[in-house]
Chain A
Amino acid sequence: MNKNEIEQCVIESIAHINLQLPAEQKIELNFETTIVGPDSILDSLSLINLIVEIEERIELISGSRVSILDKGLMSEEFGSFQTIAELICWIKEQS
């Protein structure tokens, strides 16, 4: 997958998760938005929901699996990324 396709998957996943969130908890669609760590607006369940949504979307479009949850998020303290831009770069590196 190229970077644009990954960006599209991430943006669509955020839009999908935002549909489930109350107004004050919605994720700002900005590449610098922090989604992991103490500054994140997301609680743990919403973060896992988002990651699983992105994984499933990428698998649907590219046919290949990327394990963001276990390789990216659980591998180190606060994972390998904190912002949306860092997440997109990390996925690009894996694919």
Chain B
Amino acid sequence: MTANLLLLSDFNVSAISRYILKEKLDGELSVSEIPYGQVFGALNESYGNSNSDFSFVWCRPEAISAHFNAALKGHKIDQKACIDEIRNFYEVVRDFSKSFKSCFVASMTLSEDIIDYGLLDWKPGIGLNHLINLLNIELAEIFSNTHNVFMLDVSRWIRDSRSESIPKMWYAAKAPFHNNVYECAAKNLISSINAINGSGKKILFLDLDNTLWGDVVGENGWKGIRLGGHDHIGEAFVDFQNKLKALTLRGIQLAIVSKNEESVALAAIDNHPDMVLQRSDFVSWRINWNDKAQNISEILSEVNLGDYSAVFIDDNPVERDRVRSALPNVMVPEWPEDPCKYVRFLVNLGVFNFPSLSKEDRDRTQSYAANRERISLKENSMENWLEQLGTVIIVSDLNETNVNRAAQLFNKTNQLNLSTRRMTGEELLKWSQSTDRKSVVCSVSDKFGDLGLTGIFSIEFRDSEAFLVDFVLSCRVMGREVEEAMLFLVCEQAAQKCVKFLRVCYKKTDRNLPTLKMLENSSLVKSGPHDFVWDCSSNYAQPLSVAIEHK
């Protein structure tokens, strides 16, 4: 998937282009720049037909606001007038952003070379630090209801770069930041674009010994590992676990791949008083003496995720090398020997990025824990399992109240996705409001809990036929006849419109092969390598294990 990024700035940001070209992006990313003297003119141009999917706006406040410029020169200013100038500029940016799938806006920072007010710099009405923070809050408010605009934190890039700007680069090349800051910006942009394109990292595989705790549990027993206590190394491992736990609350899944005796390792997790992560925090584990790459592949298959969505953390360079060579799409960061640096390395990975955060994301790990129980039920027999699950689909039309979650699912689902269209919630709603189109969302629950909004389909009606445009289902509910029930609903909708045929055309991507398999296993009739049809004069059978409720 090729994406285009347009850069707009009042200063020289060419370094970002070259860092982006240097970094590996999932798919491709081409970058174009508006010359830095022309940002204001460029914002007022129409980008309706632009080839760019993404834009990035990075402007210094002194270039936008005459009042802010005066404040930098030591004058007392009208703070409200300054805020108005900033607001006016970014309202133009907000209009400009409508031509793009997503627009990134850099927060505002103070130059390193200002003369601040020292002790008074945080005093309202005087200090420049107070003023810049006020302006950034205003900026966040301007974009608070604009779903395709995301603010990026420049002060974080400056901190992470640990590099002072070189004054000569400003005077000679109009580049006010150190190259390392532009490198951090490029990485952040790539991670953000990956997240929006549904290619963000979703699962973190973890070793145990010297990764989640110090020392070897198999040698010392769980009472002998270094974790917590009056020990700086033990504290570092607890802190690392706390940060991992925080990731699970944002929808990142954790899994264990460890060479150990399972019973010994699980005893440590269950019994050690300073263990932060519990069994329920892991979507799965393979604690055995098998190849870790094989174990990772098995778990990915179990949770229906691709290897591109995985990160593997292990203190052992040999294991890292093995996984890197066997699974090149898995991200395997170099890892420090010193456990005190683990948290910093985790934070600096910068790959756990989310364009939105829903209740489903926050509950995902618990949902997978419930899935483990579902699977143990499944081991009896498939039919019994499906019946005992008590799956219910609640069906409703796409509307204002569900569109945000629907758009999130729409844009990040890769495997069970018929056409892999990417649209904002606003675009999706607008598209479906036409009288010859219908978009339906499906929420799924079972006896283990509510899985939330996990399916969408869209149909277009023309020439006495119905065309399935979108068919999107979360991998969390695949393989339990929800997909068959959704196809039943699609055929039902088509029949209600009195059309003769329903036509389904599979659009291949490098990740949606499961969709083709699902269609081939369905009751639809295959009419071409990627084409399927259903005669709407016949009833499509509703799977018996799934109840359907219309809302």
A, B bound = yes
Residues of A within 8 A of B (CB): 20-23, 25, 43-46, 48-49, 52, 55-56, 69
Interfacial chain A residues near B21, Cβ < 8 Å? 22, 25
**Docked CA distance A33–B176 (Å):** 29
Determine the distance from Cα of A43 to Cα of B21 in the docked complex, in whole angstroms.
15
- Given A22-B21, A52-B168, 17 more pairs with CB closer than 8 A: A20-B15, A20-B179, A43-B14, A44-B173, A45-B12, A45-B173, A46-B18, A48-B169, A48-B172, A48-B173, A49-B15, A49-B169, A49-B179, A52-B166, A55-B168, A69-B168, A69-B172
Given the complex, which residues of A lie within 8 Å of B14, measured CB to CB? 43, 45
Bound state CA distance, A55 and B169, in angstroms?
12
A20 near B169: Cβ-Cβ < 8 Å: no
Given contacts A45-B175, A49-B179, contact A25 B18 (CB under 8 A): yes
Task: List the B side residues contacting A21 at CB < 8 Å.
Answer: 18, 22
Could you tell me if B183 and A20 are in contact, using CB atoms closer than 8 angstroms?
Answer: yes
Say if the beta carbon of B19 comes within 8 Å of chain A: yes
A-B residue pairs in contact (CB < 8 Å), sample of 30: A20-B15, A20-B19, A20-B179, A20-B183, A21-B18, A21-B22, A22-B18, A22-B21, A22-B22, A23-B22, A43-B14, A44-B173, A45-B14, A45-B15, A45-B173, A45-B175, A46-B18, A48-B169, A48-B172, A48-B173, A49-B15, A49-B169, A49-B173, A49-B179, A52-B166, A52-B168, A52-B169, A52-B172, A56-B166, A69-B172
Name the residue of chain B whose CB is nearest to the CB of A48: B173
Contacts of A49 in B (CB 8 A): 15, 169, 173, 179
The interface bits of chain B over 173-214 (1 if a CB of A lies within 8 angstroms of the residue's CB, else 0) are: 101000100010000000000000000000000000000000
- Nearest residue in B to A69 (C-beta to C-beta)? B172
Across the interface, which residues of B come within 8 angstroms of A22, CB to CB?
18, 21-22
- Residue numbers in B under 8 Å from A69 (CB-CB): 168, 172
Q: What is the interface of chain B, defined by CB distance below 8 A to chain A?
A: 12, 14-15, 18-19, 21-22, 166, 168-169, 172-173, 175, 179, 183
A34 CA to B91 CA, complexed, in Å: 46
List the A side residues contacting B12 at CB < 8 Å. 45
Q: Which residues of A are found within 8 Å of B166, using beta-carbon distances? A: 52, 56
Interface of B is mostly: helix
User: Shortest distance in angstroms between B31's beta carbon and chain A's nearest beta carbon?
Assistant: 11
A59 to chain B, nearest CB (A): 12
Task: Give the shortest distance, in Å, between A5 (CB) and chain B (any CB).
Answer: 22
Q: How far is the CA of A21 from the CA of B17 in the complex (A)?
A: 10
Give bound CA distance, A23 to B21, whole Å.
9
Minimal Cβ-Cβ distance residue in B for A16: B179
Distance in angstroms between the alpha carbons of A72 and B12 in the assembled complex: 23
Residues of A near B173 (CB, < 8 A) are 44-45, 48-49
**Which residues of the partner chain A approach B169 to less than 8 Å between Cβ atoms?**
48-49, 52
Chain B residue contacts of A20, Cβ below 8 A: 15, 18-19, 22, 179, 183
Assembly CA distance A45 to B19 (angstroms): 13
Q: Which residues of A contact B15 (CB under 8 A)?
A: 20, 45, 49
In the complex, what distance in Å separates the CA atom of A55 from the CA atom of B175?
Answer: 17
Q: List residues of chain A with CB within 8 A of the CB of B19.
A: 20
The CA of A45 and the CA of B177, in the complex, are separated in Å by 13
- When C-beta atoms are compared, the residue in chain A nearest to B13 turns out to be A45
How distant is the Cα of A78 from the Cα of B18 in the complex, in angstroms? 24
Cα A69 to Cα B167 in complex, Å, equals 13
Query: How many angstroms between the C-alpha atoms of A46 and B21 in the bound complex?
Result: 14
The answer for the CA separation of A48 and B173 in the assembled complex, in Å, is 7
Q: Smallest distance from the beta carbon of B403 to chain A beta carbons, Å?
A: 39
Q: How far is the CA of A23 from the CA of B24 in the complex (A)?
A: 12
